Chains A and B, each alone.
Chain A
Amino acid sequence: METLGVDLDHGLRSFRLALALDAGAETVALMGPSGAGKTSVLRAIAGLLRPERGHITLGGDTWLDTARRIDLPPERRRVGLVFQEYALFPHMTVRANVAFGGSERVDELLERFAIASLAGARPSAISGGERQRVALARALARDPGVLLLDEPLSALDAHTRSRVRQELRELLLDLGLPTLIVTHDFEDAAALADRVGVLVDGRLLQIGPPSELVATPADAFVAGFTGANLLRGTARPAPNGLTEVALDAGFTAYSVEPAGGRVALAVYPWEVSVAREAPDDSAVNHVRAPIGSIMTLGNRVRVQIGPVTAEVTTQSSERLGLREGEVVVASFKATGARLLSGA
């Protein structure tokens, strides 16, 4: 399997996109806020954007080398790009769309993506999930060496989304191609990708397996993106050997991590427990506040307690009889409180 090598340096509107990345037979998700340069990375790899400086290779082929004045046009790069809105040709049938890039494997691809029955339909007449399958089939018909997916799930409704995510995961494992996915959703990134890179203002803040980003986020931004509670405050060493953080929200919390000055305390919702009274257990951090909101997500309930969001099981929520407006205590351990810069 060929490895994709990307090294880019390009001025975007208000920041520089500077990124180096290698991808073997794996899926790498680029995650970040909108306007962080994620799509520009895909466009540069596809040859739709020429970076000021850069080097892009696939195995032994050089697609771009600004130093040697090599810049292959998109049609000469073996890349399959699936656009955010799919960009299906509206004047062609599903079959003609898939056959546009290469006609040998059309029937096989129509079968594989379960769109053979739609072969004669126009893109405007099929559903969002079907359009995505057509776009994937069309991109693969060219037998690409690299697959690029721009927000592959964002155009789908919530119901279709989880099913398509699962299908896409299986497809990507099956293909074994270097694949880059752009997304702004950590759940999508974690479900689809072997590695997740957090791109902010053109720079990779951190790249690693999803579990690593959750366990050791590089900074407050990464922690926020992976779903952690971020409590900003000022840290100073406490006599008991812990770090005491005076939170801006008016509480005091402790962490085992050493820090001083402005910090963001990150704690994941599933590490926060909820009780009527402050429990006499190993947790040292207690936030006593009225419940702001209660949101049920399947078998879990997200409870907003002052500045902290806790995630508990539906059973626990029912046993405690949690109601909005009631004062409860959210507790978490000093060992679960990470202190991050970037506050």
Chain B
Amino acid sequence: MRPSAFGVVLWAAACVALAFLLIPIVAIFSELTLGELRDGLTSDVARDALRVTAETNLAAMALILLFGTPTAYLLASRSFRGRTVLVTLVELPLVLPPAVAGIGLLAAFGRLGLLGGTVESLGIDIAFTKVAVILAVTFVASPFYVRTAIAAFEAVDPDLVAASRTLGAGPARTFARVALPIASGGLGAGAALAFARGLGEFGATIMFAGSLQGVTQTLSLAVYQEFDVDFDTALAIGALLVLGSALVLFAAKVIPSWRRSASTSITVSGPSASR
């Protein structure tokens, strides 16, 4: 079949867009030999940054899931005055410049901040510690999860929730046995998106937590610090982040459809009667 002129235009535009997005990524890998990649990733800076990133992001993800899931269920299943305002608030970090998030966190939890005195009297210092990284990542990444989770819970057929209630399950059991499993594909996708965003977190972290190697310096902060010290190390860490982010993003796309097919698979046990 002869391709239409319109089809050619579409493909041409898509090729330009894809090339533009791909070239920097290709450049990261082509500028590195395998040896340089290995040396870069085994350097102290990279090892420390990987450890800090893993610790802080796992902690942040735990916080996001623990508090974000009930929040999303509440916002998805109840209608009340001011709900739209609350949803907007929850989504605000999505559009907030990370620098603003950083200065806000500093103004709230810094030593001279709004809650700084309270926190300090408890003997805890937050700013420029690992806790600060966790808070910064949580702040910036949480809307990616909560937004997707609200949509996932809203997509649960209200009749299924009602059916669960008429079958004797209270609200908590209905949440655990019906809403949560049915929304789990969407929740997984949201968690993956939030995790990908958290991995790349930079602006809020550098303002609120600084860039102390082994304490608050995450992988993306290490790239920034190393690029005028040791460009190859910066490139190697960059390559790691590209791979990690791509993997997580791919998972976010695959998880919901995998969940769906798992829940609809035909698993007839026992002899199937001929009827």
Interface on chain A toward B: helix, strand, loop, or mixed SS?
loop
A74-B270 in contact (CB<8A): no
Instruction: List CB contacts (< 8 Å) of A94-124 with chain B.
Output: 100-102, 114, 116-122, 124
Interface presence of A70 (CB below 8 A): no
Known: A81-B163, A83-B159. A120 touches B264 (CB 8 A): no
B270-A117 in contact (CB<8A): yes
Interface presence of A12 (CB below 8 A): no
For A98, the closest partner residue in chain B by CB is B167
* Contact among A74, A116, A119, A120 for B165, CB-based, below 8 A: A74
Interface presence of B267 (CB below 8 A): yes
A87-B265 in contact (CB<8A): no
A102-B168 in contact (CB<8A): yes
Interface presence of A131 (CB below 8 A): no
A75-B162 in contact (CB<8A): no
B271-A75 in contact (CB<8A): no
Binary flags per residue of A76-103, CB closer than 8 Å to B gives 1, else 0: 0101110101010111010000001110
A residues near B228, Cβ cutoff 8 Å: none
B residues near A141, Cβ cutoff 8 Å: 167
* Contact among B163, B181, B264, B268 for A87, CB-based, below 8 A: B163
Interface presence of B30 (CB below 8 A): no
B residues near A77, Cβ cutoff 8 Å: 166
Interface presence of A339 (CB below 8 A): no
For B185, the closest partner residue in chain A by CB is A91
A117-B167 in contact (CB<8A): no
Q: Taking the nearest CB of chain B, how far is it from the CB of A66, in angstroms? A: 20
B165-A83 in contact (CB<8A): no
Q: Taking the nearest CB of chain B, how far is it from the CB of A149, in angstroms? A: 12
Instruction: List CB contacts (< 8 Å) of B102-151 with chain A.
Output: none
- Chain A residues in the interface with B (C-beta under 8 A): 43, 46-48, 73-75, 77, 79-81, 83, 85, 87, 89-91, 93, 100-102, 114, 116-122, 124-125, 138-139, 141-142
- Can you report 26 residue pairs joining A to B where beta carbons are below 8 Å apart? A46-B162, A46-B166, A48-B166, A74-B165, A75-B167, A77-B166, A79-B166, A81-B162, A81-B163, A83-B159, A83-B162, A83-B163, A89-B182, A100-B177, A101-B168, A102-B168, A117-B268, A117-B272, A117-B273, A119-B270, A120-B267, A121-B266, A122-B264, A122-B267, A124-B263, A124-B264
